[in-house]
Structure 1
Amino acid sequence: MELHDVWFVLIAVLWIGYFFLEGFDFGVGVLTKLLARDRTEKRVLINTIGPVWDGNEVWLLSAAGATFASFPEWYATLLSGFYLPMLIILVCLIVRGVAFEYRAKRPEEHWQRNWETAIFWASLIPAFLWGVGFGNIVRGVKIDRNLEYVGNLWDLLNPYALLGGLVTLTLFTFHGAVFTALKTVGDIRTRARTLALRVGLVAAVLALIFLLWTQVDSGDGKSLVALIVAVASLVVALAANQAGREGWSFALSGVTIVAAVAMLFLALFPNVMPSSLNEDWSLTVTNASSSPYTLKIMTWGAGIAMPIVLLYQGWTYWVFRKRIGTHHIAADTAAGTAH
């Protein structure tokens, strides 16, 4: 296996890690409107992801940095072609981080309500747009002979990509609902399981259609295996959720995301960004990659840094592993005078 193939796999792993981790905290952000009944319950939801949401975003930074260094042509074409969607996602991530930190800085109800609304929309919009973006990457976009994107925004809003956006939105919301049930106690835990079932059924139908569409268009034997794993895991996750086995349900919803994203990368390879105008104009792991020397240096760096990052993040989740409930939220915290 050539180094550019290795780095295609590593970038896929980084995106899989990002969607697995950021997926559930996007979902929890959406649930602040769909599940929480009052300000205290919203505080409970935010506290479930409070210690980890910023660490989850490190995976996005790593994926973007790795793409820039290992496949500069891919990075340049992707960012220039998807400039507006990427800008919207970036703004949402900034607003979301500020909202988490600023919501409890003042006790006024309108202040807190506005930041809570920001958390909801800044979670929902990226959850949808990531699916639209990856749908377009797999489907192919208008790339000319100079390896430049020549389409427009409306070209990105095609049925396949929009369906991909609905899949990521519903799947992340299901993932977040299961995570909420895993991390909470009391009535909110029960309601999270009920909502997880409803959202999960919708996600299962949408995901099955989207993945079958992908398989028919550009799949092979390996992507078919990933499709079967994704669908089977989601079905079993729904069953585990109904049985009150939140740990198994969360793990299996995570397997669903891992398998689904892996399928997209398997369907994409050896392309990194297919051209819908001419197959010969597609960006591939060969014509979009950096020099072998650059990839070699990056491989040594990744081999040293990745284990450290994984150990640290795993330790963080272990430290904050306990469940929380409304009885853990002090009156002054619920009122907004503290985190």
Structure 2
Amino acid sequence: MELHDIWFVLIAVLWTGYFFLEGFDFGVGVLTRLLARDRAERRVLINTIGPVWDGNEVWLLTAGGATFAAFPDWYATLFSGFYVPLLLILVCLIVRGVAFEYRAKRPEENWQRNWEHAIFWSSLLPAFLWGVAFANIVHGVAIDADKEYTGGVLDLLTPYALLGGLTTLTLFTFHGAVFTALKTVGDIRARSRALAVRLGLATAVLAVAFLGWTQLDRGDLTTLLTASAAAVALLLAIRAITVGHEGWSFTLSGVTIVAAVATLFLALYPNVMPSTTNPAWSLTVTNASSTPYTLTIMTWLAVLATPLVLLYQGWTYWVFRKRIGTQHIAPDTHPQQQEPTRA
């Protein structure tokens, strides 16, 4: 296996980690309007991801940086061709971070309600747009001989891409509902279980359709196995949350995400962006990669830095592992007494 193949796998791992971790906090953000009945419950939901949401986004920065360094032509074509959807995602992530930090800075109801709406929409839109983006990457887009995207924004909104967006949106929201059940106590825990079952069934329908379409479009025996693993894990996750095994359900919903992302990257390889204009103009792990020297330096840096990052993030989750409920939320009296984003 060449270095460019290894870095394709590493980038797939980084995106998998990002969707596994950011997926549930996108889901929790969506649930602030779907599940929470009042401000106290919305504060509970926000506090479940308060200590970890910004750390989860590090995986996105690392995946983007690794793509830029290891496959510069892939990065250039992707970020220029998908400029509008990726810009929307970036704006949402900025607004989302500001909303988490500023929502509790003032006690006025309108102020807090507006920031809570911002959290909802800035969680929902990226969860949908990431599915649209990756569906287009796997299916292929119009790329010319100069490795430039020649289509428009509307060309990205194909039925397959929209199905991909709906699949990631429901999957992440289901993942977030299971995480909420795992991290809360009381009535909100019971309702998150019930909602997770409904979301899981909707996700199962969409995921089977999307992964089936992917299999027919670019699949082989390997992708059939990973897609089947994703479907089985999802059904087991729904079963586990039905009987109250939140830990197993969260693990299995995570396995669903891992297997689904693996299916997409396996269907993509050895391409990194197929061309629908002419298959000979597709970007591959070979013609889009950096020099072997660059990849060698990156490999050594990854070997040294990755264990430290994993240890730190694992420690964060361990420290903030306890469940919370509305009884742990301080009354709304002064802005300084409202919950911080890392409490």
TM value normalised by structure 2: 0.98
Instruction: Note if 1:141 corresponds to 2:141.
Output: yes
Q: Which residue of 2 aligns with 1:187?
A: 187
2:285 maps to amino acid = V
Q: Provide Cα deviations, 1:96-140, integer angstroms capped at 9, x if missing partner.
A: 000000000000000000000000000000000000000000000
Query: Any conservation in 2 of the 1:95–1:118 contact (CA below 8 Å)?
Result: yes
Q: Say which SS state the counterpart of residue 332 (structure 1) adopts.
A: coil
Q: Which residue of 2 aligns with 1:110?
A: 110
Instruction: Note if 1:240 corresponds to 2:240.
Output: yes
Query: Any conservation in 2 of the 1:17–1:59 contact (CA below 8 Å)?
Result: yes
CA distance in 1, matches of 2:9, 2:31: 32
Q: Which residue of 2 aligns with 1:201?
A: 201
Q: What's the CA shift for 1:229?
A: 0.6
2:239 maps to amino acid = A
Q: Which residue of 1 aligns with 2:314?
A: 314
Q: Please, what is the CA RMSD of the aligned residues?
A: 1.0
Q: Which residue of 2 aligns with 1:253?
A: 253
Q: Provide Cα deviations, 1:54-76, integer angstroms capped at 9, x if missing partner.
A: 00000000000000000000000
Instruction: Note if 1:85 corresponds to 2:85.
Output: yes
Q: What's the CA shift for 1:335?
A: 7.5
2:49 maps to amino acid = I
Q: Which residue of 1 aligns with 2:158?
A: 158
CA distance in 1, matches of 2:31, 2:334: 18
Q: Which residue of 2 aligns with 1:295?
A: 295
Query: Any conservation in 1 of the 2:234–2:256 contact (CA below 8 Å)?
Result: yes
CA distance in 1, matches of 2:311, 2:251: 19
Residue ranges of structure 2 left out of the alignment (5+ in a row): none
1:27 maps to amino acid = G
Q: What's the CA shift for 1:332?
A: 3.1
Residue ranges of structure 1 left out of the alignment (5+ in a row): none
Query: Any conservation in 2 of the 1:106–1:337 contact (CA below 8 Å)?
Result: no
Q: Which residue of 2 aligns with 1:127?
A: 127
Query: Any conservation in 2 of the 1:22–1:57 contact (CA below 8 Å)?
Result: yes
Q: Say which SS state the counterpart of residue 103 (structure 2) adopts.
A: helix
CA distance in 1, matches of 2:229, 2:333: 43
CA distance in 1, matches of 2:179, 2:36: 14
More displaced stretch, 198-207 vs 328-337: 328-337
Q: What's the CA shift for 1:338?
A: 2.2
Query: Any conservation in 2 of the 1:107–1:337 contact (CA below 8 Å)?
Result: no
Q: Which residue of 1 aligns with 2:286?
A: 286
1:274 maps to amino acid = P
Query: Any conservation in 1 of the 2:220–2:267 contact (CA below 8 Å)?
Result: yes
CA distance in 1, matches of 2:334, 2:134: 39
Structure 2 CA distance for partners of 1:333 and 1:60, relative to 1, 3 Å? farther
Q: Say which SS state the counterpart of residue 272 (structure 1) adopts.
A: strand
Structure 2 CA distance for partners of 1:103 and 1:137, relative to 1, 3 Å? same
Q: Provide Cα deviations, 1:240-261, integer angstroms capped at 9, x if missing partner.
A: 0000000000000000000000
1:2 maps to amino acid = E
Structure 2 CA distance for partners of 1:290 and 1:39, relative to 1, 3 Å? same
Q: What's the CA shift for 1:291?
A: 0.1
CA distance in 2, matches of 1:56, 1:143: 32
2:159 maps to amino acid = P
Q: Which residue of 2 aligns with 1:4?
A: 4
CA distance in 2, matches of 1:133, 1:336: 40
1:211 maps to amino acid = L
TM value normalised by structure 1: 0.99
Q: Provide Cα deviations, 1:171-230, integer angstroms capped at 9, x if missing partner.
A: 000000000000000000000001101111000000000001101110111111100110
Q: Which residue of 2 aligns with 1:35?
A: 35
Structure 2 CA distance for partners of 1:334 and 1:12, relative to 1, 3 Å? farther
Instruction: Note if 1:218 corresponds to 2:183.
Output: no
The aligned length equals 339
Query: Any conservation in 2 of the 1:218–1:267 contact (CA below 8 Å)?
Result: yes
Identity rate, percent:
76
CA distance in 1, matches of 2:63, 2:198: 32
CA distance in 1, matches of 2:212, 2:256: 15
Structure 2 CA distance for partners of 1:94 and 1:203, relative to 1, 3 Å? same
Q: Provide Cα deviations, 1:289-315, integer angstroms capped at 9, x if missing partner.
A: 000000000000000100110011001
